[in-house]
Chain A
Amino acid sequence: MSEVRTRLAAASGQRLFWPLVVLVVLIAANTAYRPSFVSIEVKDGHLYGSLVDIVRLSAPLILVALGMTLVIATGGIDLSVGSVCAIAGSMACLHISQAADQNSLSTLFTALGLALGLALVAGAWNGLLVSVIGIQPIIATLILMVAGRGLAQLITEGQIITINSDPYRVIGAGYWLTLPVAILIAIAVTLLIAVLTRRTALGLIIEAVGGNAEASRLAGIRARRITFLVYVIAGICAAVAGFMITADVSSAAGSTAGLWIELDAILAVVIGGTSLAGGRFSLSGTLIGALIIQTLTTTVYAMNISPQTSLLFKAVVVIVVCLIQAPAFRARFARRRPPATPTVAAAPQKEQVPA
């Protein structure tokens, strides 16, 4: 018994323990409400069920949040990702809609290339403002957040562009080996970023820049170059997310595609345990954070919680997640119980640096 308790206590000290608990509780609550929530069947040769929907719909958010994690790790923030989603999605759809054969692969790749190019420019613009000119990230990216939305509407001419392209549709609504293509792309990008940051020194360097840009520069790190790089990565991630969002409904609306996704992404990063102050970051935490947010949204629909109360419901869950993750709150909570474990004391140890 005591062994179980010790083990549980050790697990609860892990950074990802509580977000995972919340995710499981959410899914359990849905299952209690409607047992078929967790059932997954095969329909038309692909998996079909609410859980599959959650995973598929969270793919764009995962991508945006991954880019955001790296930006936040350098102590920055990128508010423009939602607008970049809209720009990239609109550009791709515009090109496809003008093509003679919307189903041809060459049209698809030209469209994706054009849109990625635009996103690259957008990311580089943010990176330039922040790293070279030295504008505060929140203001630098606010410019593109506002102007980018206008640019996206300029691309679509204020209309909704409807396209009829099967290969493009696959990105957002297609299946490969019974799995949604969107989530496969998201997994691939996650692995790529994980390998880049955790198997090379890049992750450490990003954390160093986020911890103290000046100190890392003096230590020989090209801090500016790293800062520039993370904004470009965030831009590209946002563009791919934009493809998924527009492909899901085979249409691009400049005014609504990816609207407010930057806020969801920041929330996902925070729920995942990455500090907004920069420094340490957790990719798996962000992944879980994004899944929690999408599960919340789907829960509202599945349980038919009225739209007037759904925002409050979401807010309460998010507050609970953030509170149980806060060491100070858990310490206060734990003190009421017999001090069975040193879990709480262990948490701040990561701050200690051997002299």
Chain B
Amino acid sequence: MFTLGKQFTRRAAVAVLSASLVAGALAGCGNSDTGGEPADDGKITLGFSQVGAESGWRTANTNSIKEAAAAAGIELKFDDAQQKQENQIKAIRNYILQKVDVIAFSPVVESGWDNVLKEAKDAGIPVILTDRSVDSADKSLYKTFIGSDFVKEGRLSGEWLVNEMKSATGPVNIVELQGTTGSAPANDRKKGFAEAIAANPNLKIIASQTGDFTRAGGKAVMEQFIKANPKIDVLFAHNDDMGLGALEAITAAGKVPGKDIKIITIDAVKDGMQALADGKFNFIAECSPLLGPQLMDLVKKVKAGETIPQRIETEETTFTPEQAKAALPNRKY
């Protein structure tokens, strides 16, 4: 296919080089303001490394942190790791070199943080984890982990269903759309939900599949669920998007979502809230990305040397259709 020999290797070398240049340039885009001297005007400096911008949820999370920092008068150095752990480690090392007051980050993955966290600890810079945790055995490596409790979200969904179905005499058939197989939110939400519905033996999960947290996945799985199971009473989806995809499948099968099949989801993004307000969904347990203000409070406390709990939950709520109608006009994401 190609001329082999010297020219071939040179071409390959050029190709690899240009590919890595492009990749480097791309990575460079995210590193907006990691340079500069530490500000020593008594203002608190926070170095924050974000996972990326993979979803509307994440974008809202980023905006919340930026806005809250500005409102709290905290100088924010923000870095987007574009889903790569090496970018995140690089950013954290940069923050250590710049001697920021506090470092916060949403770990891309759970493992492999011990070294860089030790470096931060040795430099005397406190670290706060947001949204996702790390699996380090040494809990002294970070001050606290602030984020949602996925098990609780699943449990709240299950508890609502138990209450809703308390007068049901026959069996209630539930189908479940799981998130990405093996991901923490999928595992924990499944667990929490199963624990809660165990209270009523009539409630049974008859089918459970992964929809990969996407609308397309939710739709494709729900289409087969409906065909394979003539009687489905409840759909529990691990996020709004899969629920929205499933809506299409339910409608296409000639059933009325929200009535023939009750729908419970988690997240409460704008499109999901709209579906809830329209009566197509029945219940949403919130998973809020708006942890900016809480994070800034923690940063101030850590800087002042106050002791804070190892685990802090994001302030979250649940929504019924009426509550969704009221909340929808102010929904940011």
**Choice from A135, A160, A248, A251 contacting B18 with Cβ under 8 Å:** A135
Bound-state CA distance A303–B56 (Å) is 33
Q: Within 8 Å of chain A (Cβ to Cβ): is B158?
A: no
Q: Separation in Å of the B324 CB from the closest CB of chain A?
A: 16
B208:A304 contact, CB within 8 angstroms = yes
Contact B15 A213 (CB under 8 A): no
A245 proximal to B (CB < 8 A): yes
Contacts A75-B1, A213-B1, A214-B3 given; does A139 touch B16 at CB 8 Å: yes
Contact among A158, A250, A308 for B56, CB-based, below 8 A: A158
- Distance from B30 Cβ to chain A, minimum over Cβ atoms (Å): 10
Cβ 8 A contact of A248, one of B55, B178, B219: B219
Q: Is A173 an interface residue (CB 8 A)?
A: yes
Contact with B along A302-332 (1 / 0, CB 8 A): 1110111010000000000000000000000
Question: Are B207 and A134 within 8 A (Cβ)?
Answer: no
Give residues of chain B (8-58) contacting chain A, Cβ–Cβ below 8 Å.
11-12, 14-16, 18-19, 22-23, 26, 53-56, 58
Q: B304 interface residue, CB < 8 Å from A?
A: no
Looking at B3, B18, B54, B224, the one whose CB has the most chain A CB atoms below 10 A away is B224
B289 to chain A: closest CB distance in Å?
12
In the docked arrangement, what's the CA distance between A65 and B256, Å?
36
Q: Is the CB of B221 within 8 A of A213?
A: no
Contacts of B15 in A (CB 8 A): 135-136, 139-140
In contact, B55 and A255 (Cβ under 8 angstroms): yes
Residue of B nearest to A43 (CB): B254
Q: Would you call B245 an interface residue if the criterion is a C-beta within 8 Å of the partner chain's C-beta atoms?
A: yes
Interface hits, B186-209 → A, CB 8 Å = 207-209
A103-133 interface code vs B (CB 8 A; 1 in, 0 out):
0000000000000000000000000000000
Contact among B19, B82, B227, B228 for A142, CB-based, below 8 A: B19
B184 contact set on A, CB distance < 8 A: none
B249 → A minimal CB distance (Å): 9
Closest to B1 in A: A75
B227 touches A302 (CB 8 A): yes
Kindly list chain A residues whose C-beta atoms are within 8 Å of the C-beta of B18. 135, 143
Contact A160 B11 (CB under 8 A): no
| A34 in contact (CB, < 8 A) | yes
Choose from A43, A160, A303, A304 the contact partner of B241 (Cβ within 8 Å): A160
Q: Is the CB of B2 within 8 A of A300?
A: no
Smallest beta-carbon distance B11→chain A, Å = 5
- Give A294 to B2 CA distance when docked, in angstroms: 35
B323 within 8 A of A: no
Report if A102 contacts B (CB, 8 A). Answer: no
What is the number of residues of chain A that contact chain B, defined by CB distance less than 8 Å?
53
Candidates B59, B207, B253, B254; contact of A159 at CB < 8 Å: B59
Which residues on the A side are within 8 Å of B19 (C-beta)?
A: 139, 142-143
CB distance from A160 to the nearest CB of B (A): 6
Interface 9-mer from B94-102, B210-218, B292-300: B210-218
Write out the residue numbers on chain B whose beta carbons fall within 8 Å of the beta carbon of A278: 1
B220 touches A301 (CB 8 A): yes
Q: Mark A23-45, 1 if CB is under 8 A from B, else 0.
A: 00000000000101100000110
Is there contact, CB below 8 Å, between B23 and A298?
no
Cross-chain contact A157 with B224 (CB below 8 angstroms): no
Bound Cα distance from A166 to B89, whole angstroms? 46
A80 part of interface (Cβ distance < 8 Å): no
Whose C-beta in chain A lies nearest to the C-beta of B218?
A249
Shortest CB-to-CB span from A214 to chain B, Å, is: 7
Asked if B252 lies at the interface with its beta carbon under 8 angstroms from chain A, I say yes
Count of chain B residues with Cβ under 8 Å from any Cβ of A? 47
Q: How far is the CB of A175 from chain B (nearest CB, A)?
A: 10
**Nearest CB in chain A to that of B53: its residue:** A158
A49 contacts partner chain B, Cβ-Cβ < 8 Å? yes
B55 to A160, Cβ gap below 8 A? yes
Taking a contact as CB atoms closer than 8 A, the residue among A53, A142, A302, A307 that contacts B210 in the complex is A307
Given A256-B212, A301-B209, A308-B181: A147 touches B220 (CB 8 Å cut-off):
no
- Cβ B245 vs Cβ A49 within 8 A: no
Once A213-B2, A307-B178 are accepted as A-B contacts, the answer to whether A256 and B228 lie under 8 Å apart by CB is no
Residue B244 interfacial (CB < 8 Å): yes
Nearest-Cβ distance from residue B245 to partner chain A, whole angstroms: 5
* Contacting residues, chain B, for A160 (C-beta < 8 A): 55-56, 215, 241, 271
For A307, the chain B residues whose CB sits under 8 A away are 178, 181, 208-210
A253 at the interface (CB under 8 A from B): yes
B contact residues around A43 at 8 Å (CB): 253-254
Q: Which residue of A lies closest to B182 (CB)?
A: A308
- List A contacts of B26 (CB < 8 A): 146-147, 150
Query: Is B131 interfacial (CB-CB < 8 Å)?
Result: no
Residue B142 lies at the interface, judged by CB distance under 8 Å to chain A: no
- CB-CB < 8 A to A75: which residues of B? 1
Considering the complex, give the chain A residue whose CB is closest to the CB of B254: A43
Q: Does residue B75 face the partner (Cβ distance < 8 Å to A)?
A: no
Partner of B55, one of A146, A158, A310: A158
B78 contacts partner chain A, Cβ-Cβ < 8 Å:
no
Question: In the bound complex, what is the Cα–Cα distance between A307 and B177 (angstroms)?
Answer: 11
* A contact residues around B248 at 8 Å (CB): 173, 248-250
A256 to B221, CA, bound (A): 16
Docked complex Cα distance between A251 and B274 (Å): 15
Binding site for B on A (CB under 8 A): 34, 36-37, 43-44, 48-50, 53, 57, 75, 134-136, 139-140, 142-143, 146-147, 150, 153, 157-160, 162, 173, 210, 212-214, 245, 248-251, 253, 255-257, 278, 297-298, 300-304, 306-308, 310
A sample of 8 inter-chain contacts (CB < 8 A) reads: A44-B254, A153-B53, A162-B271, A257-B216, A297-B220, A301-B225, A301-B228, A304-B207
Q: Which 8 A-B pairs have the closest CB atoms?
A: A301-B224, A158-B53, A307-B210, A249-B215, A135-B15, A75-B1, A307-B181, A159-B56
Q: Which residues of B contact A (CB under 8 A)?
A: 1-3, 11-12, 14-16, 18-19, 22-23, 26, 53-56, 58-59, 82, 178, 181, 207-210, 212-216, 219-221, 223-225, 227-228, 241, 244-245, 248, 252-254, 271
